[in-house]
Structures are given as structure tokens and as C-alpha cells.
Chain A
Amino acid sequence: MSDAVAVPSAPRRVPPIVDHLAGIVAIVIAWQVYVTATDAPAYMLPAPGAVGGALADLAISGALWRDLGFTFGNVVFGLVLGALAGFALGFVLAKSPTLERWLDGPILLLQTAPKIALAPLFVIWFGFGTTSKIVLIVSLVLFPVLVATIVGLRGVPQNALELARILKLTTWQRLMRVELPMALPEIFIGLRIGAVQAVVGAILGEWMSGKLGLGHLMTFASATYKTPLLFAAVLLTVALGIAVHVSLEAAERCLLRWKQ
């Protein structure tokens, strides 16, 4: 793991978070200076204060929680569903070479097809509501998890499987107590890719249809030239992405503690 190749560095005076915050503060100041100096119109580049104001308005009106909650819920639900489906399918394919040979072509086709191109089709098939959005997210999460599961299960050492045979474990016991934990580091790689895709998919789905979510907020803001609101929506998306990433990382740290 990355810890093993850590290079000794000079002792730090401040924690890294201070450096990150300093960078962000510097950008905000530069942004404010630019807006003031060039007198940029608010519909092109609003000042940081205006964006903050838009965020505050959103929070007060309750729209922030409604839209953020909708998008967040879809991301979590789609991620869980896609991960479960990807794992189940990956398990079946890893265990059945025949099935894998048959499904290799179709899967490659589906995997490489840009899901964005399929998004309008999902709307036609599953309507303007939540279903089409979930289907889009699931389709984006499924493949990275599926591939990672196959790689992980293939990498389970032969002698661990032989141990399972000697101990006469049932198929379920072998899966849950030997193979799944062994494959978990790889599965998490797939999950991390899938999580990024899930946020993209959720926003994309809301761009195309519906009356809720951060994606919808963006299209509304851009159509009505409410640029500060657009900026606020973008910032919320970033926060959502970070939140998903951080919780996944925490889950990984907890489940893979033995790797450190």
C-alpha cells in the first residue's frame, strides 16, 4: 500500500488541512480582486459574496436541503444497488468460465458504450421520475464494481480455497468468510470509481428531466441567467462528491484495517 513507500519528509509546521484552506482562500481572494478590477458583470462572473448570498437564500428557502437531499439520496441508493448488482454479477462470472465466455462480448459492448448516450433512452423507458435516474446511476456503477469483483475473486490465493475445502466450508461460508474479504481491496477500487460516476450520473439525469435535484437547479439557474445560483449549485455538487468520497474512504479504512 501507499504507506509502505512513504518517503521521509521534512517535519511539518502546520497540518495539511491548513495548506488546503490557504490555497482555497487565495483563490477566493484572487477571484474577488479580478471581479472588482475588471468590473465583470454578475451574469458572467459573480463575486464570491454573491455566490455566498445565493447559497444562503437556498438554505433559508429550504430548496438547498430538498435538492441536495434528492441528489444525495439518488447517489446513495444507486451506488448501493449498482454495487450489489456488480458484485453479484461479478461473482457469477468469476465462478462460471462458460458464462463469462458467453457474456464477455455483450458486457464489453455495454461497458464501453457511453452511458451518457443511453441516458435519453432511459428517460423514454423509465419516465421522467426517479426510476430513470437510478437506472442511469446503476448502469454507471455496475461495471467498475463488476470488473473489480472478477479481478478480486480471481486473485484469491489457491491455498485459501484449498483450506476452505479441507475445512469443508459450505459455498456460502467460503464466499462470505474467505473470498469476499480477500477480494475486498479490489472491490473498493471499483467502488471508488463507481462513486465518482454515481455523482456524475445523478447530475446528468437531473439535467435531462425532472423538477428536483442539484442538476435541475443548475439547468434552472443557467436558463434564467441566475449565475450566482449556478455557482452555488456547482459548489454543492463538489461538496456532495467530497462527502461521498470521504465516507467511502472511512468505510474502506474501517473494513481494511488489517491491510495497514
Chain B
Amino acid sequence: MITIEAVSKRFAGPKGEPVDALTPVDLTIPAGQFLSIVGPSGCGKSTLLRIIAGLETPSDGKLTIAATGVARPIGFVFQEPVLLPWLSTLANIRFPLDTGGVPRAEADATAHRLIKMVGLQGFEDALPHQLSGGMRQRAAIARALSYDPPILLMDEPFGALDLLTRDRMNDELLQIWRATKKTIVFVTHSVEEAAYLSDRVVVMSARPGRVRAIHDVDLPHPRGEATKLDPRFHQFMATFRRELK
């Protein structure tokens, strides 16, 4: 469970004046929930995600991550797949395990299982620059899953992909979520993506960055093509879109 209490972030502006990147946010994310944060650029959605990840310190407020007994509770998928260019796909996926002291054989077994899960069989030995954008991002997701963190944070992970690849990746992500029961916090600027994937959607707006509304998306699971024909799916999208204006 992730508890965010009155967390805010203030940067120094170009003339040294304080700029509110994020006005105080309160949010509780129960374990196993798929939560999306949707908003225009500059609304602080990435800042909020990076605060949860520990990559930024909040200017104020309190963040609690209840994940007892886990050395590395967080998996992070960046907007660009941050693969190490000298490592093969397999070695990239194994990297967290290698650096975490997991025995070689066990790490290999895990990496091979994940390669299969994200559909990269046959590309185990390929270097990142030999993979397509979608394949690279799948490898990055597999790497984030390799050490089985209870929380997966994703910062517009499919933003750079074409629509077809993106749709397929969304379905794969839902499958992974169903299989692993992880808490997922997913940042996007696409209302469709947010409505399709999530249990709950946080709509944010910019200047100053703030939470505009929070919605429970109670569309039935498992989701698929039928979801996209559901009138309520379109209602959710219309609501988010209206709130983003």
C-alpha cells in the first residue's frame, strides 16, 4: 500500500521565484490496484510518480510505502526504455538479479521465463540497438519485473510507440498485472489508455499542478475488445477529457 499525505513539490523558477509543480496531494493506493494518473504536460503527474519512486524528494508532506521485508520494493519503467546498450536482452533483464546477488542459474531461469512472458523469445542475445522500440520497452518491463517488486511505477511507458503496438502492449500489461497482482501506478496523457487499463484514475491539471478528480473505473475484468465497445468506457473517457480542459 502506498500512502501519500499532503505531498507537494516546489521548484525554483527561472528568476528564483518558487513554482508549485505539485500542490498538496492526498492519495491512498491499496495493494494490487491499477491506478492511472492522467493529465496534460506540466501537471506534475511525472513529479508525483518520481516522488513515489524516491527519485525526487517532496518539498512537504509524507509518503509511506508499506512493503515489509522487500529490499527493492519498486520497479520503474521509464518513458524511454533505459537499457544498458552493451548488454544483451537477457543480460539486461537479468541485471537487477546479477546486482542483487541472485545465483546465476536462478537469475537465468527467471530471465528466460520473463522473456517468454513479454514475447521476446529468439532475441535473448540481441543487443538493444538491434531491437525495435516496442521490443526495447518490453525488455525494460521484463527487467522491472525480474526482481518481483510489489510496486510497478510506469512513466508514460508506451508514449513513444505507434498506436497498434501501444494497444498490444496495453493488453500485455493487463495480462501481466492479472498474473502478478502488483500495485501499478501508470502515468499517461491518454484518456483512452487510462480508462482501459485502470481500477482508478486520477485526473490532474496544470499551473499549478493539482489533482482535479479521482474516479473508480468499475468496468468488468478481464478487459479486451468488448470493453472498448462498452458505452460506459466512452463515458469515462468523455468525463476525463472534460476534466482535462
- Chains A and B form a bound pair: yes
**Which residues in A have their C-beta under 8 angstroms from that of B147?**
167
Q: Mark B33-65, 1 if CB is under 8 A from A, else 0.
A: 000000000000000000001110000000000
Known: A167-B96, A169-B99. A258 touches B82 (CB 8 A): no
Q: Mark B102-138, 1 if CB is under 8 A from A, else 0.
A: 0000000000000000000000000101000000000
**Which residues in B have their C-beta under 8 angstroms from that of A181?**
84, 86
Pair B99/A177 contact, Cβ less than 8 Å = yes
Pair B55/A162 contact, Cβ less than 8 Å = yes
Please report the total number of A residues contacting B with Cβ < 8 Å.
Answer: 16
Q: Closest A-chain residue to B54, C-beta based? A: A165
A23 CB within 8 Å of chain B: no
A59 CB within 8 Å of chain B: no
How close is A185's CB to chain B, nearest CB, in angstroms? 10
Pair B72/A168 contact, Cβ less than 8 Å = yes
Q: Closest A-chain residue to B97, C-beta based? A: A167
Pair B72/A167 contact, Cβ less than 8 Å = yes
**Which residues in A have their C-beta under 8 angstroms from that of B76?**
162-163, 166
A160 CB within 8 Å of chain B: yes
**Which residues in B have their C-beta under 8 angstroms from that of A177?**
84, 95, 99
Pair A159/B96 contact, Cβ less than 8 Å = no
The B-contacting residues of A in range 213-236, CB under 8 angstroms, are none
Q: Closest B-chain residue to A258, C-beta based? A: B86
Pair B84/A159 contact, Cβ less than 8 Å = no
Pair B71/A168 contact, Cβ less than 8 Å = yes
B22 CB within 8 Å of chain A: no
B74 CB within 8 Å of chain A: yes
CA distance A240 to B100 in the complex (A): 44
CA distance A168 to B72 in the complex (A): 7
Q: Closest B-chain residue to A184, C-beta based? A: B86
Known: A168-B72, A258-B127. A163 touches B99 (CB 8 A): no
Pair A166/B86 contact, Cβ less than 8 Å = no
Q: Closest A-chain residue to B85, C-beta based? A: A258
A88 CB within 8 Å of chain B: no
Smallest CB-CB A-B distances: 9 pairs:
A258-B86, A166-B76, A159-B82, A167-B96, A163-B82, A173-B99, A159-B78, A181-B86, A162-B55
Given A157-B82, A166-B75, 9 more contacts at CB 8 Å? Answer: A159-B78, A159-B82, A163-B82, A165-B55, A166-B55, A166-B72, A177-B99, A178-B84, A181-B84
